[in-house]
Each structure stands twice: as structure tokens, then as C-alpha cells.
Amino acid sequence: MRILSYVGTYAFPVILLGVPLYAASKGVKVYETFVKGAEEGFKIALGTLPYLVAVFAAISCFRGSGALDLFASSLGSVLTPLGVPLDMVPLLLIRPVSGSGALALTGDLLRRYGPDSSMGILASILQGATDTTFYVVTLYFGSVREKRTGQVLASCLIGDACGFLAGFLVWRLIAA
């Protein structure tokens, strides 16, 4: 365990110093290469900004209009008989859309039920079971200016459903 502690403490500084030193030893102009990469990254960030604004505006409209609550109650009536607690339905809906929104919901669930409770464990598992699909698809496809994302988005949402199902099954095994 002590070795892992040292590795965890020193891995990042070793990489941070080791990679540039290795590159310099191979004749790479490290600073110039870094600046060029930062410039390209900045251009990509500016290019994806309109796509991100669109996604965040859509999320705000979905939540503010009450559509999220309506959809959550509809989905809850289907999932509750399957053993999925009703309090988890908003997390299932928000997680693919907003990482910060899902983290806030998870924080609320942990405060309400406690981190070591069955509900707290389920919220934690579901928080880590998937990624923010809409954000990732928007960012990656926006950076290459690809607008035809329908099949990719559908595949990712199926992956989210599988992640949530697997997380729920793991929770059932732990809770049993």
C-alpha cells in the first residue's frame, strides 16, 4: 500500500517533467510544440462553442419548461415496479445531458439519504455508470464540424441505458 501511495504522489510530477525532457533529448522543440498545440486547442474550443451553447440552452429549456418533471414521472411509473427507486429517475434522465446537473442531484441524494445508505450507494453507482452523452457528442462532433450525429447519439444513449442497467444490477447484488 505504501508503494501505491508513492506512485500516486509522484506519478504526475514524473510525467510532467519526464515527457518534456524525453522530447528535448530527441530534438523536439518542446516550448514551440506546446504553444502550437495550445493554439490548435484554442481554435477547436472556439469552434465547438456554438454547439455547446445550443446544448446548454436546450437543457435549460427542457428543465425550465417542466418537461423533465413530466418525463421523470412517466418513466418513474414504468421503472418503479421494476425496483428502481423513484428518486433515481431524475438522475437517470439528467446524467446523459448534464454532468454538473447530475452531480448536484447525486449530492442532494447523498445529503438526504447518507453516502453509506442503500440509496446513496445507488446514486453513486449510477453517477459513475455513464458519461454526459450529449456533451461528449456535441464536443467531439462539433470539433470536426460534423452535424450528422443521429446514429452515434442513439448508440450512445443505448450505451447509457446499458450502463444504468449494469449499475442497477450491481447495486441489487450489493444491497441483497
The radius of gyration of the chain's CA atoms, rounded to the nearest angstrom, is 21
| Average pLDDT in the chain | 85
Q: For residue range 10-37, list pLDDT tens digits in order.
A: 888 889 999 999 999 999 999 999 999 9
Residue 136: the pLDDT is: 78
Kindly list the distances between the CA atom of residue 14 and the CA atoms of 10, 19, 21, 82, in Å, as whole numbers in the listed order.
6, 8, 10, 49
3-state secondary structure 37-103: HHHHHHHHHHHHHHHHHHHHHHHHHHHHCCHHHHHHHHHHHHHHHHCCCHHHHHHHHHCCCCHHHHH
Which of the given ranges, 57-61, 103-107, 136-140, has the highest pLDDT on average? 103-107
Q: For residue range 32-70, list pLDDT tens digits in order.
A: 999 999 998 888 778 777 777 776 787 778 778 888 778
pTM of this prediction exceeds 0.85: no
Judged against a pLDDT cut of 70, whether residue 114 lies above it is answered with yes
Residue 119: which pLDDT band, with cuts at 50, 70 and 90? very high
Residue 94: the pLDDT is: 83
